[in-house]
A and B are shown apart, each in its own frame.
Chain A
Amino acid sequence: MLRVGIVGAGTMGRTHASAYMKLPNARLVGFTDAVTDAARRTASEFGVQAFDSYDAMLERVDMVDICTPTPTHLELVLKAASAGKHILCEKPLGRTLRQCEQMIEAANKAGVTLMPAQVLRFFPEFKQARDLVLAGAVGKPAAIRTRRGGPYPRAANDWYADFEQSGGPILDMVIHDFDWLRWTFGEVERVFAKALTFKGLDHIDYALITMRLKSDAIAHVEANWADPGGFKVDFEIAGDAGMIAFDSRSAMPLTVAKQEVGGGGGGVAVPESPLAEDPYMLEIKHFVDSVQAGQRPSITAEDGMKAVEIALAAIESVRTGKVIRLGGGA
């Protein structure tokens, strides 16, 4: 039985907590959060303990699950590693490559498992697309497009809007797509990107990123924090023998529209895509099972760092207007 402590009692902390509650080989011990009240509220919701400090929580657990804003990851990881605790850390692993390196070093030295929560690998549409690609379903991939985003995200202290903390949608959001692209199609050769990130706009950001992969395929990634029409994801993998296309808008098996109270008028139709196995649950199960079996998880900390490297290259391209080549020693 793996004892689990979650740091960060926001949306992702709760999502992860629900998963641990269902696992037979893990036990959620409690939460800690920079905002003590938030930790208390969430802890009581799950019937677990709220810790006043991270250090206090570390003493009572075998692993920590880090669901806090990106720049806090380094210190939390280093402390957990030196306390000999295994670590599941939200993406992006670090705000900088140096931070990622320090985390990897610390985890290796302490002999603990460090896995970045690149949960997209557990989303069935993305996992299936990769399986199909590897099985040759589209032949050799030539042009890949992904789109992710919706309204500007809101969170505690509006931290997404602080580029120094979040890295904007390129680092915070489409890091998912970068990781999936690497996992599915291999390493990135060069990146060119344009974005609204540094234009001083109020709560609107948008980026279009073009990449040349080492395989010679061309990939185009859209990062959208400028769409009031709701969160959408799509991808298209076109190869020399076929194409795979996915659009979250057309993959909704259930839509419910409720009459407004009092009748008449227009309600809003809410689409849903229910799954028997929640991707977050699969991710956490994989981590817990790997730790208990003493095996390396399928997503390594190095994978987390590589995804950060691609994102930072895209941001550098936005800043400089230049093509950024990867793998030149980061």
Chain B
Amino acid sequence: MAVRIGMMSFAHMHAYSYAHCVKLLEAEGKAQLVGVADDDPQRGQHIAQQYGVRFYDSYEALLNAGVDAVIVCPENIKHRPLTEMAAKAGKHVLCEKPLATNKTDGRAMIEVCKANGVQLMTAFPCRFSPSYIRLKQMVEAGELGEVLAIRGTNRGRNPGGWFIVPELSGGGAVIDHTVHVTDLCRDLLKSEVVEVYAEIGNGFCHGDFDDTGMLTLTFANDVFATLDSSWSRPKVFPTWGDVTLQVVGTKGLAYMDMFAQNSTLYDDRDMRISLQHWGSNVDYGLVSAFVESVATGKPVPITGEDGLAAAEVAFAAYESARRGEPVNLPLPG
């Protein structure tokens, strides 16, 4: 039986890729894209038309259309209300990252899903990167010895729009780009972050939002890591950004540049040089895993708790920058 999926909001651009992946799974008979609902009817109708599915003029209508599960991609602060609606309607939820913009909302989302017997999965597609999976295998097999330190980056560009309106996004670059690499580190180390120090700035855009983040994380197992979450890529940079991890172990060092599988396009008409990615589609792995969990009832591989733990590191980073000192986790509340 194909898992029937509804899309709740396309405010976050990742929704386009997720919808595309649902269509790929539809071709395999594993999923079906039932319909789209969006606060922005024009946007929603356009996408519905593009995929040849129905546009629902309210989230309630979509949830009543016989879907099994939803993919939730609104502005960050709306993750909670949409997840609550879906859970109360008995639908499984794949929620875009960051799971929440504060701890209370994240907790509420986890609890409402539990109370209604639905699964909550956080959209961390990097976990499905074949390069990351290979790195994790090597670490687990002890090929690097004991892991001692990690240097991570997840850099990009200012996406603009609601991403730079803290009332909608919960912050800037730090809330946007801290969670992916933090999640990979937690997954790789099987250990929780216990301390965060952050230098945060706005030196790229000079706006009322942060665009520069340099975080230092300490894990319960004494491993330390830094994470550059800045929107520091220039406008002419040949690709969107990066996800990198350098893992230092007692027996060796591994360096992963997750999106390095590219060819270079030199385009005279656009006067632009760009990297053309030919590596595997990590979003497909993510959506596919969600669909499989919904179909079989097995636990989702990345939980709401995982999403909240990574988001909490971003909350702590803001707190650290405010206080000018390292902050201990878990945060109160």
Contacts and interface: CB of A to CB of B under 8 A. Distances in A.
Given A206-B149, A208-B216, A243-B237, A143 B206 contact: no
Contacts of A239: 203-204
Interface stretch (B8-16, B109-117, B222-230): B222-230
A181 B326 CA distance: 24
B178 interface: no
Interface stretch (A58-66, A67-75, A90-98, A224-232): A224-232
Contact of A238 (B204, B206, B216, B222): B204
B99 to A, nearest CB: 26
B214 A143 contact: yes
Interface in B195-252: 197, 199, 201, 203-206, 211-212, 214, 216, 218, 222, 224-226, 228, 230, 232-234, 236-237, 248, 250, 252
Interface in B104-159: 148-149, 151
Contacts of B232: 142-143, 238, 243
Contact of A210 (B197, B204, B218, B252): B197
B324 interface: yes
Interface string A297-324: 0000000000000000000000001110
A199 B204 CA distance: 37
A217 B253 CA distance: 29
Given A204-B250, A216-B203, A238 B230 contact: yes
Contacts of A204: 148, 250
A25 B2 CA distance: 84
A145 interface: yes
| Interface footprint category on B | 20 to 34
A210 B206 contact: no
Contact of A321 (B149, B199, B205, B326): B326
Contacts of B225: 208
Determine which residue in A140, A201, A210, A242 has the highest number of CB atoms from chain B within 10 A of its CB, and name it: A210
Contact of B253 (A210, A211, A226, A323): A226
Contacts of A216: 201, 203
B325 interface: yes
B324 A323 contact: yes
Contacts of B325: 322-323
| Interface footprint category on A | 35 or more
Determine which residue in A208, A224, A226, A239 has the highest number of CB atoms from chain B within 10 A of its CB, and name it: A208
A240 B204 contact: yes
A10 B29 CA distance: 70
A230 B46 CA distance: 53
Given A142-B212, A143-B212, A143-B214, A218 B199 contact: yes
A196 B197 CA distance: 17
A323 B197 contact: yes
Contacts of B250: 201, 204
A140 B212 CA distance: 13
Contacts of B237: 243
B244 to A, nearest CB: 11
Interface in B140-187: 148-149, 151
B248 A206 contact: yes
Contacts of A229: 253
A194 B227 CA distance: 13
Contacts of B216: 192, 194, 208, 210
A220 B205 CA distance: 20
A239 to B, nearest CB: 8
A63 to B, nearest CB: 41
A196 B145 CA distance: 15
B228 A145 contact: yes
Contacts of A145: 228
Given A243-B237, A322-B325, A210 B230 contact: no
B214 A217 contact: no
Determine which residue in A222, A238, A239 has the highest number of CB atoms from chain B within 10 A of its CB, and name it: A238
Of all A-B residue pairs in the complex, the 5 with the closest CB atoms, nearest first, are A142-B203, A194-B224, A238-B232, A208-B226, A218-B199
Interface of A: 140-143, 145, 190, 192, 194, 196, 199, 201, 204, 206, 208, 210-212, 216-218, 220, 222, 224, 226-229, 238-240, 242-243, 321-323
Interface of B: 148-149, 151, 197, 199, 201, 203-206, 211-212, 214, 216, 218, 222, 224-226, 228, 230, 232-234, 236-237, 248, 250, 252-253, 324-326
Given A217-B203, A323-B325, 19 more contacts: A141-B203, A142-B204, A143-B201, A143-B203, A143-B214, A143-B230, A192-B197, A194-B218, A199-B222, A201-B250, A208-B216, A208-B224, A208-B225, A210-B199, A224-B253, A226-B148, A238-B233, A242-B236, A243-B234
26 contacts: A142-B230, A143-B212, A145-B228, A194-B226, A196-B148, A196-B149, A201-B148, A208-B225, A208-B226, A210-B199, A216-B201, A217-B201, A217-B203, A218-B201, A218-B203, A222-B151, A224-B248, A226-B149, A238-B204, A238-B233, A238-B234, A240-B205, A240-B206, A242-B236, A243-B232, A323-B197
